[in-house]
Amino acid sequence: MRKKGANGQKSRARLLAVAANEFALSGYHKTKISTIVSRAGLTQPSFYLYFDSKEAVFNELMLKFRSQLKEMVVDSRLESGIQREDVRDVIQNVLRNLFGFLLMDPDLTQIGFFIGEEASEVKEELTRMIAQNLKAEQRDGYFHPEANMDIVAECLVGTIERLTLQELLCGKSTPEYLAEQVVNLYMFGLTSHRD
């Protein structure tokens, strides 16, 4: 039987946080339940009050990342009727929120986006959702009608993945800066326009 009440919830939350950190640092296979409980200041039997196995903890963390990411992307679709001059700022805000989400819990991001067996599947799902948003936004007239939004979505997810690993999680760049750079690249390209 699982513990009830505030102490039980705190212990469970502590186990999840420590487990996320251990998985992010050591990977799934090298992480041991004994290390998790030791770092959490709990006993191994107390671990089994909340989780059936190491796999159960990892799967819960993966599901948490996946569902939060999905909710964020679903909510990020541009609404109809945005003024053309505001589109850039709205998209930049969406990307800033996405990078902010990925930075908010770096351990969970490592698990869900990079080390979990389902990480590739998560990125494929992310790509599909972004493509759906982009196609709807394209129909609303925000983007060039001939742009292949499936390819744009693939490029965006690749960009987000690489920048998260090389810039965001190691503290080189902020979500704001990365969002600005990505928007400038995708909306204005690399060439300089001279009048």
Write the pLDDT tens digit of every residue in 137-167.
999 999 999 999 999 999 999 999 999 999 9
pTM of the shown model: 0.89
Give counts: helices (H), strands (E), the chain.
9, 0
CA–CA distances in Å: residue 22 to residues 16, 67, 89, 113: 10, 21, 37, 16
What pLDDT was estimated at residue 174? Answer: 98
d(CA 92, CA 178): 9
Half-sphere exposure of 31 (CA within 13 A, CB side): 25
Q: Whose CA is closest to 144, among 153, 132, 135, 155?
A: 135
What pLDDT was estimated at residue 189? Answer: 85
Residue type, 4: K
Please, which residues have CB within 8 angstroms of residue 111's CB and are 6 or more apart in sequence?
20, 23, 24, 58, 61, 62, 65
Please, which residues have CB within 8 angstroms of residue 195's CB and are 6 or more apart in sequence?
none
Residue type, 192: S
Domains of the chain by start residue, with CATH: 5-51 (1.10.10.60), 57-188 (1.10.357.10)
> Burial code of 125-153, b = ≥16 C-beta within 10 A, e = fewer?
bbbebbbbbbbebbeeebbeeeeebeebb
* SS3 state of residue 116: coil
Q: How many CB atoms lie within 10 A of CB 166?
A: 11
Q: Whose CA is closest to 21, among 100, 88, 108, 93?
A: 108
d(CA 64, CA 78): 25
Q: What would the mean pLDDT of 95-110 be, rounded to a whole number?
A: 97
The pLDDT mean for the chain works out to 92
Q: What is the dihedral of CA 113, 118, 121, 127, to 10 degrees?
A: -20
Helices 54-75, 119-139: crossing angle, 10 deg rounding:
10
pLDDT bin (cut points 50, 70, 90) of residue 188 is confident
